[in-house]
Chain A
């Protein structure tokens, strides 16, 4: 008999259908991956099993866990199940822990509640499980507060809470989406080991096909609240019988068509970064003593030639975004020089920067936060026209905006809409239109596709590649995702702890990394090809 059996599960929130007849089953000790793009209803399925749905949600159908009818169980019965027989790990580790309670309290609390153990015994068990998830007491005593831990460490605490009582079923809802690839691999390895050790069933929810393929025995693919396809992982993904499965798989492995990279070295460099350092003052040790400053960027030098597409890859917190801001003259380096077309950026005041800014624009990660919600598209896209020396008339402005929108595959009719009327992918197109309206020579893109669903991501990457070819824009592409770097850049810089530790042709570095940092990144990067191949190999 299955551990979890979901049949014809339907959920609606305030009359809006969210899930439309979901079927899903998990056997004891089995790992099932639940894949789908945002809004497909993956998380709602998980929350239904926990009976933690939002207030106005109504669920019908059958959810049987270990012989218990979840939808009909009393709240008391659910409290007994939650945390004891079913554990759950959430996406956002930074906010998942109570900031005013120690990690020891938070882990021991559930143990005491469910087992009736005394304080000392519960703490002993908390200590053991924290040690098991990689937080040994010597370095991470129970008295630590969440704010004293990093994101990866916090996620380990959340996993410790979920697994403290060796539940029969563990639900992990995008457990690594907020983490960089290296941490992602560590957390996934930890989950895999814990599941095997304790013979737990695992429902792994992810938007990342490669992650799910790597981890799960069976997959369920969801879209718009319905199950598209379900089956054994290797067969489902190698066969790709269902058109949506094929579409997802192709999008995850998509590489935009680009011509062979040109040779740039004969041209004068567009961007020269020389020995750039950025320090932040350390936290004051006391009123009289300043702390030692931290170096976010440490002696970085590189050049980008016109039309060259360069990736800057590294783990989160390695200093890549700080570096990007200095290049965009939004922040000033502590030491070093940055030149654009031979002109020094770091010493100029805002007025003198104006002509230079025309030649460098930016695309950000979050397609929702990139626009003032109170302005129309025309005004948003036209914003950099402020950098032109001459005044632009209304008609000319509209013309230029229309041209830029056309360039990114949007219609000039979109000009009079507000950003909230667009989807994430369309917004990212608007963001790119804004970046290219002044015909800059350099576009800095800070994780421009990480917030997008895979199918949209593929389209935006195509757009970036196309603009690079047609307009000759040089890119500095900041990413922690190696597939993105591989898809769209000629050269790569690997950054670690504020330093550039490796550089070279993208393909060369990613195929044969030399530095430890690059090796870690490459080893940790999820890869759908490899994952499917491994699955097939294991099954013989």
Chain B
């Protein structure tokens, strides 16, 4: 019975129909789409140029001219948030790319090969887990100085074992299945089986994990820029905006409110999207609801 549920997501139309019946997916998709759109639009148009510093307009509360107010250099907060979203998205996306690009092959290899390869890779995972992104970022910054690249590398490294683990767990559950045995009896080697059978069947789990890591990446990037280990001024970033807001919070609390809400909305949207996707793609998880 459950097979029918898994596989009715085969066709694109079936998937879309199912996806939009999940409330989490719809809300998550909508929020994520808005954030993505905001980042895209910022390349062509922002309400005010964030590279000029109209100090005369500094610390203006939200109004019709500046919807979300202005900061201590007179820059428009809405424009800053729009431009800052690029940084958040880029860092988190590249970090997910690094994590998937390295983690998935490693995890699949470990599962296919087993034995000492598996053991060594899992111990490597334990090792990387002992270095939260912040610690890696601290070490890199101590040597090379701060910058957005640091954040990407540090978060990316931390993503590698996460994806390796998800890929390995999924692959290990598949390898003893009879259809894999049949493929082996058809003379297919581990690499071919991984490409033809394992990857398509763990893709949904990876996709779900991808949205979760994307969300975590946005959070981590904000944290790193907040403490000055991420994007550097004048490049606008949400974390940095919050740092600048902190000392001025008594006078202008809106400086801290809006960038924070941007972060929360982005992360919430991605997490809901991930939840929705796992509802749609993994009937086992859905049955639990």
Contacts and interface: CB of A to CB of B under 8 A. Distances in A.
Direct interface between A and B, CB < 8 A: yes
Interface of A: 325, 328, 330, 350, 353-354, 357, 360-362, 364-366, 368-374, 383-384, 386-387, 418-420, 431, 434
A300 B181 CA distance: 23
Given A330-B185, A386-B186, A386-B188, A374 B10 contact: yes
Contacts of A364: 178, 181-182
Contact of A420 (B3, B184, B185, B196): B3
B6 interface: yes
Interface in B190-216: 196-197, 200-201
Nearest to B193: A372
B178 A361 contact: no
Nearest to B8: A420
B185 A418 contact: no
B234 interface: no
B114 interface: no
A369 B4 CA distance: 13
Nearest to A379: B196
Interface in B1-29: 3-4, 6-8, 10
Given A330-B184, A373-B6, A420-B6, A350 B189 contact: yes
B178 A387 contact: no
Contacts of B8: 420
3 tightest Cβ-Cβ pairs between the two chains A and B: A364-B178, A384-B186, A420-B7
Given A374-B10, A374-B200, A420-B6, A330 B186 contact: no
A353 B8 CA distance: 37
Interface of B: 3-4, 6-8, 10, 177-179, 181-189, 196-197, 200-201
Nearest to B177: A369
A431 B179 CA distance: 10
Nearest to A373: B7
* Residue among B3, B10, B200 with max Cβ neighbours from chain A (10 Å): B3
29 contacts: A328-B185, A330-B181, A330-B184, A330-B185, A350-B187, A353-B187, A354-B187, A357-B185, A357-B186, A360-B185, A362-B181, A364-B178, A365-B178, A370-B182, A372-B179, A372-B183, A372-B197, A373-B3, A373-B7, A374-B200, A383-B182, A383-B183, A384-B187, A386-B186, A386-B188, A419-B7, A420-B3, A420-B6, A420-B8
A362 B185 contact: yes
A370 B179 contact: yes
Contacts of B197: 372
A328 B4 CA distance: 30
A387 B187 contact: yes
A372 B197 CA distance: 7
A380 to B, nearest CB: 8
A366 B178 contact: yes
A325 B186 CA distance: 13
